[in-house]
Amino acid sequence: MEKILKTTELRNQISELYSKIIEISNEYIKTWDAYGKRRNSSGYEKILKLELQLGMLKDDFKSLEDKLAQLENRAPRAIKIDFITPSPPKSFSLKGVEVRKK
């Protein structure tokens, strides 16, 4: 019975994580589209933050999936979240460091 409860709990956590990944991915896509139209530093910074969030969510998913797979005696499933980081705008400053693109 305890195994069933733990499995159900992990599946619920994974489901919530999927929802968050979809939400952040949609925000990433919208931000990417806006950045493509108007290359500005705020859009670029937001893309970098969203990529960081997605990376952390992917790590969380892997951890939960490894636990669930162990309980279910199966191989863990992978989740593919790969986005291409855009190049920074021509003049971009991050944390006091100026980056100029030629």
Which two structure tokens, joined as six digits, stand for 65? 């999936």
pLDDT of residue 89: 62
User: Whole-angstrom Cα distance, residue 79 to residue 21?
Assistant: 10
Q: Say if CB 62 and CB 55 are below 8 A apart.
A: no
pTM here? 0.73
Q: Say if CB 28 and CB 54 are below 8 A apart.
A: yes
pLDDT of residue 38: 84
Question: CA torsion sign, 84 to 87 to 89 to 91?
Answer: positive
pLDDT 10s digit of each residue in the chain, 102 long?
888 999 999 999 999 998 999 899 889 989 988 988 888 888 889 999 999 999 899 999 999 999 999 999 999 988 776 666 666 665 555 555 454 554
DSSP H or E segment with residue 26 = helix 2-37
Q: What domains appear along the chain, each with residue ranges and CATH number?
A: 2-72 (1.10.287)
pLDDT of residue 96: 53
Q: Which of 70, 68, 79 is nearest to 21 (CA)?
A: 79
Residue that the structure tokens 């021509």 belong to: 90
